[in-house]
Amino acid sequence: MKIIIRTVVILLALSAAVMAQNYKIKKDDFNKTLKQINDSLPVSWLAKTDTSYPDEIIIQSSVIDLEPDITSNDPPQLKGQCEIFIRIEPRISPDTIDIIRKRNKELKEKLPPQISKDNLGNWYTQNNKTLKILDAEPTHYDNNYSYRIKCRRLPKNENDMIKYHQIMALLNRFFKNYHD
Domain boundaries in the chain?
A: 35-92+138-177
User: What pLDDT is stored for residue 2 in this prediction?
Assistant: 66
| Interval 93-122: pLDDT, tens | 888 898 999 999 998 898 888 777 777 778
140 Ramachandran zone, left/alpha/beta (phi>0; psi -120 to 50):
beta
Under the banding of pLDDT at 50, 70 and 90, the label for residue 56 is very high
User: What pLDDT is stored for residue 171 in this prediction?
Assistant: 96
Question: What burial letters (b/e) apply to 144-166, b meaning 16+ CB within 10 Å?
Answer: ebbbbbeebbebbeeebeebbee
Phi/psi for 156 (5° steps) reads -95, -40
Closest to 152 measured CA to CA, from 56, 60, 62, 77? 60
Sign of the alpha-carbon dihedral angle for 167, 169, 132, 91:
negative
Decide which of 52 and 12 is more confident: 52
**pLDDT at residue 49 above 80?**
yes
Residues 6 or more apart in contact with residue 156 via CB below 8 angstroms: 64, 65, 66, 67, 78
User: What pLDDT is stored for residue 10 in this prediction?
Assistant: 52
User: What pLDDT is stored for residue 58 in this prediction?
Assistant: 95
Number of H helices and E strands in the chain, helices first, is 5, 6
State pTM to two decimals.
0.76
- Please state the rounded mean pLDDT for residues 45-54: 88
| Interval 126-146: pLDDT, tens | 888 888 888 889 999 999 999
| Interval 144-175: pLDDT, tens | 999 999 998 899 999 999 999 999 999 999 99
Residue type, 88: I
Residue type, 168: M
Residues 6 or more apart in contact with residue 33 via CB below 8 angstroms: 57, 88, 174
- Please state the rounded mean pLDDT for residues 59-85: 86
* Rounded distance between C-alpha atoms, residue 135 and residue 42, angstroms: 28
Share of the chain above pLDDT 70, in %: 84
**H or E element, residue 93:** none
Share of the chain above pLDDT 90, in %: 46
User: What pLDDT is stored for residue 158 in this prediction?
Assistant: 94
- Please state the rounded mean pLDDT for residues 8-24: 44
User: What pLDDT is stored for residue 127 in this prediction?
Assistant: 87
* Rounded distance between C-alpha atoms, residue 94 and residue 177, angstroms: 9
